[in-house]
Structure 1
Amino acid sequence: MAVTPRGRALARAVACAAILSLSAAMSLAGEVDVEAVDVSREADGTYRFDVTVAHADEGWDHYADRWEVLSEDGTVLATRVLAHPHVDEQPFTRSLGGITVPAGVTHVVVRARDSVHGHGGNEVRLALPDR
């Protein structure tokens, strides 16, 4: 049976749609979410962040590897490196203190990333206490 030009075009369209669907599914899979943030002001005026993240860590090749505190203009104020996978501990909370926030910054954004997909998933925007 001969394939017509219309049949080839239809086959290409179906193949492209399948590739786009797979690409979209892969880009959404495995993103790390910030589930909760507790922030407190220390006596010295710096801040402490306790951040809870959730991610389907698979081991050393794919895991949540950091979270960051950013000003609303996107400036990274602090980074907490997560040094190992948390396969059996989900969600999990890690802390970072001594964070200096510039004067005038009243709100921050906390985001996380994983070793495969980078930044993605749920971010949390919050007001700083005592500002």
Structure 2
Amino acid sequence: MYIRCISALALCAAFAVPAFADAPEIQEATAKKSGAYWTFDVTLLHGDTGWDHYADSWRVVDNDGNVLGTRNLAHPHTNEQPFTRSLSGVEIPSGITEVGIQASDNLTGWSSQIKKITLK
């Protein structure tokens, strides 16, 4: 009897735990300079399930982790995967020749993946 109760509890717990999608994957990122500012185009892939779990932003960081610009994503992209969004008007301090792109979702926060881009 005791083993049956434990098994039933384990089964209930397994179904009660939500299935989490992986962190947003940065599939592609490009940078283009226009005057003194940069525009970034970033393509993300994420298992958006709706408002409860979706890729909610990406950011440009320098090699020390300082945030140079952030692109907030206003809604889930459940039927548009992968998807590309842009961020313009990013000022990059002189001397920086490489930046990173880091993505976030609304449940797990910032991903450990940082895609490096060489600025040309």
Range class of TM-score, shorter chain: 0.7 to 0.9
Residue 53 of structure 2 aligns to a residue in which SS?
Answer: coil
Give the structure with the higher percent strand: 2
Residue 65 of structure 1 aligns to a residue in which SS?
Answer: strand
Give the structure with the higher percent helix: 1
Q: Which residue of structure 2 lines up, in the alignment, with residue 45 of structure 1?
A: 36
- TM value normalised by structure 1: 0.74
- TM value normalised by structure 2: 0.80
Residue 38 of structure 1 aligns to a residue in which SS?
Answer: strand
Partner residue of 2:25 out of 24, 33, 40: 33
Q: Which residue of structure 2 lines up, in the alignment, with residue 108 of structure 1?
A: 99
Aligned residues: 103
Task: Give ranges in structure 2 of 5+ residues lacking alignment.
Answer: 1-13
Over residues 5-41 of structure 1, what are the superposed CA-to-partner deviations in whole Å (9 max), with x where a residue is unaligned?
xxxxxxxxxxxxxxxxx9xxx9x84211111011100
State the 1:100 CA deviation.
Answer: 0.2
- One-letter identity of the residue aligned with 2:30: D
Task: Give ranges in structure 1 of 5+ residues lacking alignment.
Answer: 1-21
Q: Distance in 2 between matches of 1:123 and 1:35?
A: 11
Q: Distance in 1 between matches of 2:101 and 2:68?
A: 10
Larger radius of gyration: 1
Root-mean-square deviation (Å): 1.7
Superposition misfits of 4+ residues, deviation over 6 angstroms: none
Q: Which residue of structure 2 lines up, in the alignment, with residue 83 of structure 1?
A: 74
Percent identity over the alignment is 43
- One-letter identity of the residue aligned with 1:82: L
Contact 1:107 1:127 in 2 (8 A): yes
Distance 1:121 1:86, change over 3 A: farther
State the 1:123 CA deviation.
Answer: 2.5
Q: Which residue of structure 2 lines up, in the alignment, with residue 124 of structure 1?
A: 115
Contact 2:21 2:48 in 1 (8 A): no
- One-letter identity of the residue aligned with 1:77: L
Q: Distance in 1 between matches of 2:64 and 2:98?
A: 10
- One-letter identity of the residue aligned with 1:38: T
